[in-house]
Chains A and B, each alone.
Chain A
């Protein structure tokens, strides 16, 4: 490199390196070190795996962890199933103005804070809410129905909140599928089902993977929706992290929880990429 470009290179590299080391890399290493500390006295710490041991032996912690993981997977699958036909409609069936309007209508709810969206579901689902009143009016219920504070409400909220992150990558990949390829599938004797399975889904695979990764991540790390829509029996793992850090001030255990959450999400993201032969650069970038 010439001297001029070399200087430019260093100037451009510095902010990137500072950002990644000071705000991402070192904080995570530090969090890991804190999670390995065990308080043995006032201001005295030993290095041990005690916090991870607590995590594995306390049934509530482990159970919440697994529950959060399973429910996030379920939320991802439901989101995919709901979003796929809609994305296909936007990408392949709607044309011109209708197409861009529908796509924009998918985006708009997500320019609004997640808090507002969750608040909307609370108004709809609570005992004095719209759905309960509607059911009574229709004669399907004879008293107010409480639909908040359970796992189904959490699921509705999670799916709603993540919908955009599934629709956008799906529409983008489906749009790049040439109509002629679908027609060829029919000409060769395929029907709607076999064409979808053999042509459309394989083509949309990158979109499905990146959408699923983002939705899974957002569900796993969600705090607001489970807290507002879930009941006292539907604990989310992020709520445990919050309570260890802010309420109980047990940072050592909280850091261990944080690390477990990070570990779980990394394993699943990595597994999904490996399983489908995608890379992070291709799905995110």
Chain B
């Protein structure tokens, strides 16, 4: 079943219809979320009560829009902060890991590589509780030993950042490694022959070459952190990031406010993704 093999027309039409149906299925949930953000009603459901921007810009009850809803804005800020920290940390460690696995041969390298992949096959919720358990063990030990209360080890921002970092680093490592493997080592050697030191050669030749992968890893890490739910849920303290805040609201019942937030999220993440793709094409 490839274009060069003749197929009956009805079979091809059937296949095409299946593909169309599939993309309809993909688009459906997102389109209804986006559509009902503009419904002039208390509930994101039919009947359609008319078009409104209130769920974005409204400032009077009961229709307070996203841009006037303090808790949601604060949650977006929290999420952005966490995502920024996680992407910086995980890309830094990912870059270091990529060089380690690409440039050095040492005993136990294979084992270490498999260990590095493991966080991807540990369920997110298990990662969350294991870090929660361990951090509280340490915090309790510190309290018993010296009466020191280590605030950072109680559920909250620091633990959320560490929890997300623990598996996003693997992804950053894989993204950067993939490009580093294609790098032509002779370019670096040429720089060394021309009198550059090892660090200078890496900084001026290898790192610029890796830049598209590094940017890609930053964007992917940022998006994954922003969207993460499972690990975050177990480690969250009083400052809830956006996914957890929205989850809490959704449990109480939804208003089109949540649709408006979702639509903004969709726009934000697609813009980020498209910008990344455009950037990588240009390179």
Contacts and interface: CB of A to CB of B under 8 A. Distances in A.
Nearest to B243: A115
A183 B2 contact: yes
Interface string A146-160: 000000000000001
B22 A86 contact: yes
A182 B133 contact: no
B93 to A, nearest CB: 5
Interface string A256-282: 001001100110010000000000110
Given A130-B32, A258-B125, A26 B270 contact: no
Interface string A222-258: 1110001000000000100110011000010011001
Contacts of A107: 273
Interface in B1-51: 1-5, 7, 15, 18-19, 22-23, 25-33, 36, 43-46
Interface string A90-127: 00110100000010111111011111110111111010
Interface of B: 1-5, 7, 15, 18-19, 22-23, 25-33, 36, 43-46, 92-93, 96-97, 99-100, 103-104, 106, 110, 112-127, 129-134, 137, 162, 165-166, 169, 174, 177, 198, 223, 226-227, 229-230, 233-234, 242-243, 246-247, 250, 254, 258-259, 262, 265-266, 269-270, 272-273, 277
Contacts of B7: 192
B125 A242 contact: yes
B45 A27 contact: no
16 contacts: A16-B97, A16-B100, A24-B119, A24-B122, A34-B137, A111-B266, A115-B229, A121-B29, A122-B254, A130-B46, A160-B26, A241-B126, A261-B123, A284-B117, A284-B121, A284-B174
Interface in A66-94: 82, 85-86, 88-89, 92-93
The 5 closest A-B pairs by CB, nearest first: A120-B29, A221-B123, A27-B130, A27-B134, A12-B100
A251 B46 CA distance: 43
Contacts of A123: 29, 32-33, 36, 44-45
A208 interface: no
A116 B97 contact: no
Given A30-B130, A123-B32, 5 more contacts: A95-B3, A123-B44, A241-B125, A261-B126, A285-B177
A153 to B, nearest CB: 12
A31 interface: yes
Contacts of B226: 113
B104 A26 contact: no
A102 B19 CA distance: 10
Where chain B touches its partner, the secondary structure class is helix
A119 B130 contact: no
A213 B133 contact: no
Contacts of A116: 30, 33, 262, 265-266
A39 interface: no
Interface string A172-200: 00000001001100100000100110000
Contact of B270 (A111, A217, A220): A111
A23 B104 contact: no
Contacts of A109: 26-27, 29-30
A23 B162 contact: yes
Given A9-B106, A115-B250, A183-B2, A89 B19 contact: yes
Contact of A4 (B18, B124, B198): B198
A179 B121 contact: no
Contacts of A213: 121
Contacts of B131: 23, 27
Contacts of B266: 111-112, 116
Interface in A206-226: 213-214, 217, 220-224
Contacts of B227: 112-115
Given A12-B104, A115-B246, A221 B129 contact: no
A89 B262 contact: no
A23 B166 contact: yes
A45 B32 CA distance: 52
